[in-house]
Structures are given as C-alpha cells and as structure tokens.
Amino acid sequence: QSIEKRKNLISKADAFRLISSEADGLPTLIVDKYRDYLVMQTLGVATEMRKNLFADILCQILKPKGIYERNDVPIRKLEGLSSNKGLLMGKIPELITITENRIRFFVDIKNGQKTGFYIDQRDNRNIVRDFSKEAKVLDCFCYTGGFSIYALYYGANHVTGIDISEESIKLAKRNAALNNFKDKKFIFNIANVFDELKNFDRCGEKFDLVVLDPPSFTRKKQTLKAAIRGYKEINLRAMKILKPGGVLITCSCSYHIGLELFKSMLIQASSDAKRTVRILDIRNHPMDHPILLQLKESSYLKCLVLEIV
C-alpha cells in the first residue's frame, strides 16, 4: 500500500521516502529510495527480526540494484539493538547521482547523514526560487549544499555555504561542479555556524537570503531550554545580517519544539534584533512523509519563510 500511494512520485522523483514507519502502518520501518537503490532502517525488535523478509519483498516489487542497511542510529539502543550498517543485497556504489527538481546531487547513502540526503526538505528547497535571483545568499548548516545549489540554480549572484563537517563540504563542492556552477559564484566553508554568524554581524556583512537548516538541537525534553537558546541565537544573528526586505528561511526538525514554541522563539529573536518580521509561508515535510493526525511524532519539521523588514 505504501508503494502504491507513491506511484506518482516513483515516476517523477529520484529520491523519496517509500515507507514512513507508523505513518504508513509499519511502525519502526523506514525505507528511502534513491534511484535504483534502497536504504532501510529497522528501528524496533519486530522489524529487525523481519528485515530480510522486508528486503525480499522489496526486491520482488521494485527490483532494486541494491539495498543498504542504515541502522547506525541512537534510537535503536532504546530497544536493546546494536548500531550497525551494511549491505543487505546487491551492490551499492560509493555515490549515487539523483535529480531533484531538475538539479543533480551526489548522495552518499553509506556514510551520509540520515539515509544520505535530507529528502524531507525536497519541497522546501524549491521555495528558494522565489528569492534567489541576483541575491547574495547565506546557507547555514548547508550539509552537501542542498539549499545552496538550488539558490545557484535559480540565479543567485553569490552563495556562501557553511557546515562543520569537512566531508559534507567536500561533497557540496562536488555538487556545485556537477551542476556546472563556476567557483566565483559560491564558497563553501568548514566552520562553526554560531561563530560565523557572529563574525558576519561584527563585520557588518549583509545578505538578501539566509537559510537556517540546523540538525536537531534536542531529542529529549530535558534539554529543551538549551535548544531554544540555540535556536534563538542563530535566528537573532541571521535577522541582524539580513538587508531590509531580506528573507530568512528557518527550519527545525526537533519534534519537542512544536510550531507555536518555535514561533514564540522567533518573536523573542526579532524583538532582540529590533527587526519587524512578516511570515510569508509556514511549511513542513512533503507527502512522502505523511502525518498521522493521532500521532504527534509524525509531524516534526517546521520551515518558516520570513521577510525581515
């Protein structure tokens, strides 16, 4: 049924979530599709015991060239399961090339974050088309350049991408080259986003578009206050370095920080930054990451598009 629901996506997208755990009636099972390859996560004892069965069924239906297991996630420890990853069937190349909204990316499903790419941001990446033309863009926590490459594709004058991971930055540069963008149009830096935002503010550097897409700052309620402080700091700094009329795309994938709490944090940040803020759009994850009305945990991603006056 999960595959049947996504038939439209199968013909249009190279990368998407094929099975989304409880939201598809298969608790603790996640399967992502990257072209002819599948990545599987079995996050509970029941699915772990049946992972070879699931792999066999997926092979019969989709005939993938390879299935890779990415069970190197902390949540498995809660179930008493080990952390591991490896080949389940077929062969997996070092990098898979996908096309998303006419833009190409290299994806490392063996070692990349999550299952290789943030496919839950697919639709949100595409919204930069409305704000990128001739813009000076800053992409914070850029990973392998998702939002950055979109901004270049849609005509940005210059893009700066920042991430703490050296491997991510290397792949971001390769993704820019894959799409034939010239070096003078972009720079990808290995740096701490908190420090770089302070430096931009101190130097008086201004941007037309800033993207904040950080990793989760908290996975438990006990660290919620510290997470809010972190979100507030990066958003406050981003607001201060945006030109009047500039746009901030700010995201949170922390389930424990709901939309209203996230908006409350943004109100505090805008007050401290002394900037008026208009909400242009409020978004979440795409249709291949369905939300169950009865399951709050299935709604985790917040993406707000803000005009900073």
Closest residue by Cα to residue 296 from 255, 263, 257, 252: 255
Q: How many CB atoms lie within 10 A of CB 203?
A: 9
CA 107 to chain CA centroid, nearest Å: 13
Q: Cα 280 from chain centroid?
A: 20
pTM for the structure as a whole: 0.94
Tokens in use for 284?
């979440």
Mean pLDDT over each residue of the chain, to the nearest integer: 95
Q: Is it the case that residue 198 has pLDDT exceeding 90?
A: yes
Tell me the angle at which helices 193-203 and 224-240 cross, rounded to the nearest 10 degrees: 30
Measured CA to CA, the distance from residue 199 to residue 204 in angstroms comes to 8
pLDDT at 10: 66
The predicted model gives 204-231 an average pLDDT of 91
Share above pLDDT 90 across residues of the chain, in percent, rounded to a whole number: 88
Residue 235 has pLDDT above 80, yes or no: yes
User: Tell me, what's the pLDDT at 134?
Assistant: 98
**Residues 225-235, mean pLDDT to the nearest whole number:** 95
For 126, the token pair is 């595409």
Map out the domains of the chain with their CATH numbers: 2-90 (3.30.750.80), 118-308 (3.40.50.150)
Q: How far is CA 181 from CA 103, 144, 150, in A?
A: 12, 15, 11
User: For the residues 16-23, what does the mean pLDDT come to?
Assistant: 94
Residue 221 has pLDDT above 90, yes or no: no
| Chain position carrying tokens 């699915």 | 47
pLDDT tens digits along 91-143? 999 999 999 999 999 999 999 999 999 999 999 999 999 999 999 999 999 99
> Does 261 score more than 80 pLDDT?
yes
| Arithmetic mean of pLDDT, 82-95 | 97
213 band by pLDDT with thresholds 50, 70 and 90: very high
pLDDT confidence of residue 222: 80
Q: Which of 142, 251, 253, 303 is catalytic?
A: 253
Q: How far is CA 150 from the centre of its chain?
A: 13
* Whether residue 11 has pLDDT greater than 80: no
What pLDDT score was predicted for residue 13?
82
Least confident span in 18-22, 96-100, 109-113, 292-296: 292-296
Q: Is residue 253 annotated as a catalytic residue, yes or no?
A: yes
What pLDDT was estimated at residue 5? 79
| Nearest partner of 14 among 91, 103, 89, 90, judged by Cα | 103
Gap between the Cα atoms of 182 and 177, Å rounded: 7
100: tokens are: 């998303």
HEC string of the chain? Answer: CHHHHCHHHHHHCCEEEEEEHHHHCCCCEEEEEECCEEEEEECCHHHHHCHHHHHHHHHHHHCCCEEEEEECCHHHHHHCCCCEEEEEEECCCCCEEEEECCEEEEECCCCCCCCCCCHHHHHHHHHHHHCCCCCEEEEECCCCCHHHHHHHHCCCCEEEEEECCHHHHHHHHHHHHHCCCCHHHEEEEECCHHHHHHHHHHHCCCEEEEEECCCCCCCCHHHHHHHHHHHHHHHHHHHHCEEEEEEEEEEECCCCCCHHHHHHHHHHHHHHHCCCEEEEEEECCCCCCCCCCCCHHHCCCEEEEEEEC
Q: Torsion angle, CA of 145/148/153/156, rounded to 10 degrees?
A: -160
Asked if the model's pLDDT at residue 223 lies above 90, the reply is no
Q: Which residues are CB-contacts of 63 (< 8 A; sequence separation ≥ 6)?
A: none
Segment 37-65 shows an average pLDDT of 97
